[in-house]
């Protein structure tokens, strides 16, 4: 931080340093971008949840064989016994119905008593009955909701701490903007493109989060289909294989887009607003007018006209032809230094 503060004016601002226990200060930003700025992945494989989701409701099987004489005899006897049992049950039901008809008077009294319980004679009784019915309905709904809802805890992957630090905040960028005039500095001074590099860093953090969230959303809606229920070890191997493939795949789309931007900028030798890749020069051809042209700049013998990746160390950070190339070859070492 002393290196950066030496660039600034006497304006006071409080910004927290990065934690050396979480990341290596000497790691280049390019290597951090290659893994989508993700420090660690967290996964939780639950075999019990998988088994509960995939457990069959019932199992059926078919046994094909030729019936012998003993099977036919036993089947006939079983059918006959079932018919006899059914007839006996039917006779008992008829007899019980006749007995109930004989006690018809007592049944009528029972019905009358049951109706008196639910007859409402005034408004207060109606309100009490409604409260009772609503209470029973709410209890039933809560029971169904808690019994059918599967509660799971999802732990997010850990993004590099720079993306949650003050160094990608608007306050830090405004602080640099108000204390540095890049057009009054030499092109090899990091302060010339400092505001551009920090804006790029903030954009990279935002894009990394967006790509990761979109990929996780797609993964959560995908289906894991197998023809048979897997054992614990086999399930663990399948999930780990899928997870490793997921980790390797999602940075590719992000890196491919970034590579297109870098190649387009370098191949066309585009000028940037900080004038760090080339500058205008003119020669007087005749007295009336002059000829203007661009001359590529050099960084430690590396010509920006031949390579867009030319950089030069500038007290902990990098200055180069383009802010993006300089940023990718820099480290966060100065952000750990008190």
The CA distance from 49 to 147, in Å, is 15
Model pLDDT, residue 10: 44
- pLDDT tens by residue, 149-181: 333 344 456 788 888 888 888 888 888 888 888
Distance of CA 99 to the CA centre of its chain: 70
C-alpha distance from residue 194 to each of 182, 273, 274, 310, 319 (Å): 8, 12, 10, 16, 9
Task: Take residue 161 and report the two structure tokens written for it.
Answer: 């701490």
Residue in the structure block whose two tokens are 């108000």: 178
The CA distance from 194 to 323, in Å, is 8
The CA distance from 284 to 288, in Å, is 8
Model pLDDT, residue 303: 92
- pLDDT tens by residue, 259-288: 998 998 888 888 888 888 888 877 665 556
Model pLDDT, residue 151: 38
3-state SS, residue 66: coil
Q: Which of 39-43, 57-61, 104-108, 178-182 has the highest mean pLDDT?
A: 178-182
C-alpha distance from residue 335 to each of 2, 90, 161, 270 (Å): 9, 90, 11, 30
The CA distance from 301 to 311, in Å, is 10
Average pLDDT, the chain: 76
- pLDDT tens by residue, 93-152: 776 776 666 555 555 565 565 556 556 566 566 666 666 676 677 777 766 655 443 333
Query: pLDDT band at 22, cuts 50/70/90?
Result: confident
Task: Take residue 124 and report the two structure tokens written for it.
Answer: 């207060």
3-state SS, residue 189: coil
Instruction: Identify which has the larger pLDDT, 3 or 14.
Output: 14
Closest by alpha carbon to 191, among 201, 178, 181? 181
For the segment 191-211, the average pLDDT, to the nearest whole number, is 90
Model pLDDT, residue 7: 44
Instruction: Identify which has the larger pLDDT, 57 or 101.
Output: 57
Q: Is the pLDDT of residue 45 over 80?
A: no
Q: Show me where the domains of the chain are located.
A: 2-52+160-335, 71-140
Model pLDDT, residue 322: 92
Model pLDDT, residue 150: 38
């Amino acid at each position: 931080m002393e290196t950066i503060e030496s660039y600034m004016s006497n304006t006071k601002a409080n910004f927290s340093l990065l934690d050396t226990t979480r990341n290596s200060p000497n790691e280049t930003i390019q290597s951090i971008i290659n893994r989508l700025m993700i420090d660690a992945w967290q996964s939780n494989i639950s075999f019990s949840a998988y088994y509960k989701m995939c457990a069959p409701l019932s199992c059926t099987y078919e046994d094909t064989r030729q019936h012998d004489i003993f099977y036919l005899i036993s089947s006939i006897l079983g059918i006959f016994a079932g018919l006899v049992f059914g007839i006996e049950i039917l006779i008992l039901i008829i007899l019980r119905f006749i007995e109930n008809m004989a006690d018809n008077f007592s049944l009528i009294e029972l019905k009358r008593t049951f109706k008196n319980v639910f007859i409402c004679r005034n408004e207060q009784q109606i309100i009490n009955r409604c409260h009772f019915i609503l209470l029973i309905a709410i209890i039933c709904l809560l029971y169904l909701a808690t019994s059918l809802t599967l509660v799971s805890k999802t732990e997010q992957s850990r993004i590099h701490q720079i993306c949650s630090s003050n160094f990608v905040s608007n306050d830090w960028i405004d602080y640099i903007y108000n204390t540095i005039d890049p057009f009054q500095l030499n092109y090899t001074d990091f302060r010339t493109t400092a505001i551009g590099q920090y804006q790029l860093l903030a954009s990279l953090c935002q894009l990394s989060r967006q790509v990761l969230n979109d990929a996780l959303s797609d993964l959560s809606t995908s289906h894991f289909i197998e023809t048979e229920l897997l054992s614990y070890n086999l399930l663990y191997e399948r999930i780990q294989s899928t997870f490793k493939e997921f980790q390797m795949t999602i940075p590719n789309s992000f890196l491919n887009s970034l590579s297109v931007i870098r190649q387009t900028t370098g191949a066309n030798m585009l000028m940037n607003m900080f004038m760090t890749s080339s500058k205008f020069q003119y020669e007087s051809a005749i007295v009336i007018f002059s000829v203007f042209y661009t001359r590529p700049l050099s960084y430690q013998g590396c010509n920006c006209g031949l390579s867009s990746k030319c950089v030069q160390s500038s007290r902990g950070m990098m200055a180069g032809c383009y802010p993006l190339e300089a940023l990718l070859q820099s480290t966060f070492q100065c952000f750990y230094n008190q």
